[in-house]
């Protein structure tokens, strides 16, 4: 078992996934030390809000364990989930850097731990350790990239089926088997999936039936078995 993030993210961590490209990995000894001084770790229960859309930025959260749902809601009450974050993700960075309100709401989907770095401390860090600014730029451009992916799916994918297939593909990328199949633990409700792909709960329900019937996937309890990525990819570009 890998050491949880909270224990190493602020060191010159060698155990980080993504080959140390994460924020605050591989900083100088002094910078890491400073980070350790300003960070504070806390455990959050399921349903806890790390921050809420529209709030002034208090600081950034580095997620150690657990999953976080990032979402935006329109005035009419429609909600979209823009991302499901997990261990290692940095939340609220854009708001802090640009000093604008958080653009999303971050809610714990399961109990978990996160490091909090206050806004001021982060800004002082940037001043004192220019190397940190580079790291942050990297992280921001990664965030931008995923935002752009989102735009592409929302703007270009025609039908809900396509978006659903796309979503399944992103889920299966992490755990692809040798024979092309893969298994994922379902953590989202149909309602939430609907909010991710921008459709209704009913449609998601029907998509599940449809995809099962077409042998694209099957459901064993809470684990989703994806038969073949290839078949899904054909759906996406059809």
Q: Of these partners, DNA, its own copies, none, which one is at the site of residue 189 (CB under 5 to 8 Å by kind)?
A: DNA
Q: Say whether residue 176 binds DNA (CB under 7 A).
A: no
Q: Which is nearer to its own copies, 168 or 184 (CB)?
A: 168
Query: How near is the Cβ of 129 to DNA at its closest, in Å?
Result: 43
With contact defined as beta carbons under 8 Å apart, do 190 and 208 qualify? yes
Cα–Cα dist 214/221, whole Å = 19
Question: Rounded to the nearest 5 degrees, what angle is found at the Cα of 185, between the Cα atoms of 183 and 188?
Answer: 135
Question: Using CB under 8 A as the criterion, what x/- string covers residues 197-236 for binding its own copies?
Answer: -x--------------------------------------
Q: Of these partners, DNA, its own copies, none, which one is at the site of residue 200 (CB under 5 to 8 Å by kind)?
A: DNA
**Largest separation between any pair of C-alpha atoms in the chain:** 59
Q: Say whether residue 52 binds its own copies (CB under 8 A).
A: no
Query: How near is the Cβ of 151 to its own copies at its closest, in Å?
Result: 5
CA–chain centroid gap for 71, Å, is: 11
Q: Please tell me the number of Cα atoms within 13 Å of 8 on its side-chain side.
A: 15
Q: Of residues 58, 119, 142, 201, which one binds DNA by CB under 7 A?
A: 201
Nearest CA to 195 out of 81, 76, 109 is that of 81
Residues sharing a CB contact under 8 Å with residue 56, sequence separation 6 or more, in sequence order: 101
| H-helix segments, the chain | 5-8, 29-38, 93-98, 119-128, 130-156, 160-173, 190-197, 201-213, 229-237
Q: Say whether residue 161 binds DNA (CB under 7 A).
A: yes
Query: How near is the Cβ of 118 to DNA at its closest, in Å?
Result: 33
Q: Say whether residue 120 binds DNA (CB under 7 A).
A: no
Q: Say whether residue 209 binds DNA (CB under 7 A).
A: yes
Binding site for DNA (CB under 7 A): 158-161, 189-191, 198-203, 205-206, 208-209
Binding site for its own copies (CB under 8 A): 72-76, 78, 80, 82, 93-94, 97-98, 100, 103-104, 126, 130-131, 133-134, 136-138, 140-145, 147-148, 150-152, 154-158, 198, 237
């Amino acid at each position: 078992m890998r050491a949880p993030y909270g224990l190493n993210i602020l060191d010159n961590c060698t155990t980080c996934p993504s080959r140390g490209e994460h924020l605050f990995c591989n900083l100088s000894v002094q910078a890491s030390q400073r980070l350790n001084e300003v960070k504070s770790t806390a455990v959050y229960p399921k349903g806890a809000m790390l921050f809420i859309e529209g709030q002034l930025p208090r600081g950034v959260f580095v997620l150690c364990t657990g999953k976080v749902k990032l979402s935006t809601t329109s005035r009419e009450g429609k909600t979209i989930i823009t991302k499901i974050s997990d261990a290692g993700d940095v939340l609220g960075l854009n708001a802090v850097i640009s000093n604008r309100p958080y653009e999303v709401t971050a809610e714990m989907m399961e109990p978990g731990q996160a490091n909090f770095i206050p806004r001021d401390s982060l800004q002082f860090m940037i001043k004192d350790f220019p190397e940190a600014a580079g790291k942050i730029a990297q992280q921001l451009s990664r965030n931008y990239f995923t935002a752009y992916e989102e735009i592409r799916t929302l703007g270009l994918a025609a039908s809900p089926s396509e978006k659903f297939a796309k979503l399944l593909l992103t889920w299966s990328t992490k755990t692809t088997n040798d024979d092309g199949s893969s298994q994922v633990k379902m953590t989202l409700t149909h309602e939430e999936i609907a909010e991710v792909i921008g459709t209704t709960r009913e449609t998601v329900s029907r998509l599940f039936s449809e995809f099962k019937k077409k042998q694209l996937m099957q459901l064993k309890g809470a684990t989703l078995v994806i038969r073949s990525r290839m078949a899904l990819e054909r759906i996406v570009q059809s």
